[in-house]
Amino acid sequence: MNNPDTTDKHSKPLTFRETLSIVFAGHLGVRKREQRVIDFRRANGLHIFIAAAVYFLIVVTGVIMLVRYIAA
């Protein structure tokens, strides 16, 4: 029989903050595949797109700053 606590937990949509954290965790590879699949099913597509764009900007900015630091 299903536990109501886990059913409710896995059926609620994710907040933007939670979506941002699963995108970061997904890149680092610290989540199990099953958990990642469940999370992305619960996530809003727009939130995933925005989180990915934010993450991309952070990575690109970090690389630019690293190159400038090394080149200086």
Q: Are 31 and 39 in contact (CB under 8 A)?
A: yes
**Model's pTM, two decimal places?**
0.66
**Which structure tokens are listed for 39?**
């999370």
Q: How many domains does the chain have?
A: 1
Question: What is the pLDDT, as a whole number, of residue 3?
Answer: 53
How does pLDDT run across 21-60, given as a tens digit for each residue? 888 888 888 888 888 888 888 888 898 899 889 989 999 9
Domain containing residue 31:
4-71
Mean pLDDT to the nearest integer, 13-27: 85
Mean pLDDT to the nearest integer, 4-20: 73
